[in-house]
Amino acid sequence: MITATEPLSRSFGYIPGKMLDVDAAIETIIQRLSTPTSSRRVTLKLIDDPTVPQVDLDRLQNEVEALAEEWDGVVGFHLSDLASGEAVALNEDTVFAGASTIKAAIMLNAYVNLKRFDAQQEEWLKEMIVESDNLAANDLLAAATGSRGTEAAFVGAEQMSDMLAENLGLKNTYLFVPYEAGDFIRINNFKFRCGPQDPVGPAPYTETGCALRATPADMARLYRLIDACAEGEGELLAQFELLSAKRCQEMLDRLARNGDETRMVAGVPEDVRVEHKSGWVGDMQADAGIVRSPNGDYVLAVYIFKALPKDLWNWPDEMLAPVVAHFSRLAYTAYNPVKIEE
């Protein structure tokens, strides 16, 4: 375990074992046998074993908990191995503000309800995933209902939230109010749906509001379902006739083009594919998605909360985003530990 306290950081490393260089050994022995006068003593060369070890998930669990202890706030963490289904979790059912991580669900809802996308809808999808544009997300919520405008976006938000709860069992992940709709609500005295008041779900608690929430476990399940669909399997194909393996792979390809490289992506090497959607509000930052690593693919959802003092509106991005990256780094190096040269 390689640790640092400034900044907060943990990652796994390994010292490679040694193995016989078989090709060099055969060449040396043949040479000696063909030369009767040569020495009968042979020195064989050892080289580094190229096998990269993988950290046991129990060990990763311990290190996730240790890293979370160093954070002055609440950490929600869920990792699922896509091959084995094994998981590592900490506060995975704690309810956090959903922020923009739920835009992955808005995208799914659009695919569930629209057979194909016109040019404008394609642009909204790009803006929502790549740039995390809020108004594009609202437009897609409305489009999924077959309409346009803010009132239709409210209908689309409820439609999506009901789909998550009733079809997929994601009870604490929902969006009832479209993004940036405060003025519309005040001017029109608009009534909207709301979840239970805080605190909600199991402890430890965060501050979430009542209309936009998510849990690490729910978001991880959402990505596992999309991945299974892309493989031609799973619940999404069974429940939604407009979905196909090709369309689910399209969703993953869109998520891989997410422009945010400061959170989950910052914890992995540049050439590693990450299909994800991040999100942030004043007291919370998060990222959730799938990491396609050399030694195995996994779903990861990391949510970080830190209560704000009364005189502050938000924590600086450079304070919270790197913490998400550090948990991503810890997970990545459990699958792909850093080689330590002796």
DSSP symbol at 122: H
Rounded to an integer, what distance in angstroms lies between the CA atom of residue 249 and that of residue 102? 18
User: Position 18: which residue type?
Assistant: K
CATH topology classification for 57-339:
Beta-lactamase (3.40.710)
pLDDT value, residue 43: 76
* Assigned token pair, 228: 């299974």
The alpha carbon of 168 is separated from its chain's Cα centroid by a whole number of angstroms, namely: 18
What confidence tier does 342 reach under pLDDT thresholds 50, 70, 90? low
Which three-class secondary structure state does DSSP give residue 118?
coil
DSSP 1-30: -EEEETTEEEE-EE---EEE-HHHHHHHHH
Percent of the chain with pLDDT over 70: 92
pLDDT value, residue 2: 66
Closest CA to 57 of 323, 265, 331: 331
Digit-coded pLDDT (tens) for 108-138: 999 999 999 999 999 999 999 999 999 999 9
DSSP symbol at 70: T
Q: Are 54 and 306 in contact (CB under 8 A)?
A: no
What sign has the CA pseudo-torsion 316, 320, 322, 324? negative
**3-state helix, strand and coil shares in percent for the chain, rounded to the nearest 5:** 40, 20, 40
What sign has the CA pseudo-torsion 166, 168, 174, 178? negative
Rounded to an integer, what distance in angstroms lies between the CA atom of residue 255 and that of residue 335? 22
Digit-coded pLDDT (tens) for 60-112: 999 999 999 999 999 999 999 999 999 999 999 999 999 999 999 999 999 99
Q: What is the pTM of this model?
A: 0.90
Q: Are 311 and 270 in contact (CB under 8 A)?
A: no
Average pLDDT, the chain: 92
Digit-coded pLDDT (tens) for 46-60: 666 666 777 889 999
Digit-coded pLDDT (tens) for 136-163: 999 999 999 999 999 999 999 999 999 9
Closest CA to 227 of 78, 85, 56: 85
Rounded to an integer, what distance in angstroms lies between the CA atom of residue 54 and that of residue 335? 5
DSSP symbol at 266: G
Domain boundaries, the chain: 2-48, 57-339
- Range 236-240 contact pairs with CB under 8 angstroms and sequence separation of 24 or more: 236/108, 239/167, 240/112, 240/167
